[in-house]
Amino acid sequence: MTTPNTSAATAGTVTLHRVLRAPAERIYRAFLDADALCKWLPPHGFTGRVLRLDARVGGTYRMQFTNFSNGQTHAFGGEYVELVPGERIVHTDRFDDPNLPGEMRTTITFKKVLVGTEVTAVQEGIPAVIPTEMCYLGWQESLQLLALLVEPEIPAE
The per-residue pLDDT for 5 is 37
Mean pLDDT of the chain: 92
Q: What is the CATH number of the domain that holds 88?
A: 3.30.530.20
pLDDT in tens, 39-68: 999 999 999 999 999 999 999 999 999 999
pLDDT in tens, 74-100: 999 999 999 999 999 999 999 999 888
3 located within any domain: no
Higher pLDDT pick, 121 / 5: 121
134 located within any domain: yes
The per-residue pLDDT for 10 is 56
* Residues of the domain holding 95: 12-45+84-150
Average pLDDT (5-33) is 85
41 located within any domain: yes
- The Cα–Cα gap between 32 and 55 comes to 6
92 located within any domain: yes
Count structural domains, the chain.
1
Q: pTM for the full model?
A: 0.89
The per-residue pLDDT for 157 is 76
29 located within any domain: yes
The per-residue pLDDT for 66 is 97
pLDDT in tens, 60-76: 999 999 999 999 999 99
The per-residue pLDDT for 22 is 98
Residues 29-37: contacts with CB under 8 Å, at least 24 apart: 30/146, 30/149, 30/150, 31/89, 31/108, 32/83, 32/89, 36/149, 37/63
33 located within any domain: yes
144 located within any domain: yes
Average pLDDT (115-133) is 94
